[in-house]
Amino acid sequence: MHRATQTALYEWPHIVGPAVTRQCLKCKAPMRQSLRAYSVLPPPRDSEEKEMLARMIRVDHAGEYGANRIYAGQMAVLGRSGSGPLIQEMWDQEKKHLGKFTEIMADNRVRPTALLPLWNVAGFVLGATTALLGKEGAMACTVAVEESISEHYNSQIRLLMEKDPERYTELLKVIKEFRDDEMEHHDTGLEHDAESLPGYWLLKNAIQLGCKAAIYASKRL
């Protein structure tokens, strides 16, 4: 084979790679450009459905973004401790979740919430301050946040099932898979002594109140 042709063929992925893999301008998560017109969401029937789906994706993206920042804060404090690998493992799954919602947003031209800069700081601060209470503090934060996110996903699953399960099959698959991951993170927190933190219930309720407010705001702004 001619040398130039060989080079062109073998180096093709490297040549096209940077052009295809982009980053979300706001959250910096890797964004894959889909070749299909849509991936997970059906083409909207009307403006009402379009708005409903956009709100769902926007708030889910915001939640996964916040979760990533929480784990980043936890790792900044506990990364070198014995809990580091466990926290990193959960963080890696959050990166996957965020990447998926970033991709769905790009495919469907859904804008992210205007509150991302706030969740950037608030998530990191929450993760780092609870981690300063020790491993139990970090795990208590994980239990509180993951329970809230799981409940949020469950309410979306209920809504989509009531509306039209067949129409939303792909979206349901994504949300159910992520809900299961969040439940696993929640259980991991409990297995690693979250409840032995003094003031656990107080902290858990305070964090969950914050999560509810964040979900409410991210749907609307």
- Contacts with Fe ion by CB under 5 A lie at 64, 67, 94, 97, 146, 182, 185
* 49 labelled binding-site residue: no
Q: How far is the CB of 182 from Fe ion (least distance, A)?
A: 4
Between residues 92 and 164, which has the closer beta carbon with respect to Fe ion? 92
Which has the closest alpha carbon to 189: 26, 71, 39, 66? Answer: 71
Q: Cα–Cα distance between 173 and 159 in angstroms, integer?
A: 14
186 has binding-site annotation: no
Distance between CA 150 and CA 184 in Å, rounded? 10
Tell whether 177 is in a known binding site.
no
* Shortest Å, Cβ 173 to Fe ion: 15
CB closer to Fe ion out of 67 and 166: 67
Q: How far is the CB of 142 from Fe ion (least distance, A)?
A: 8
Q: Is 97 assigned to a binding site?
A: yes
| 14 is known to lie in a ligand binding site | no
- Closest chain position to Fe ion (CB): 97
Output 108 or 150, the one with its CB closest to Fe ion. 150
Residue number, 30 or 43, with CB nearest to Fe ion: 30
CB of 155 to Fe ion, least distance (A): 16
Four-residue CA torsion sign, 198, 204, 209, 211: positive
Residue numbering of the annotated binding site for Fe cation: 64, 94, 97, 146, 182, 185
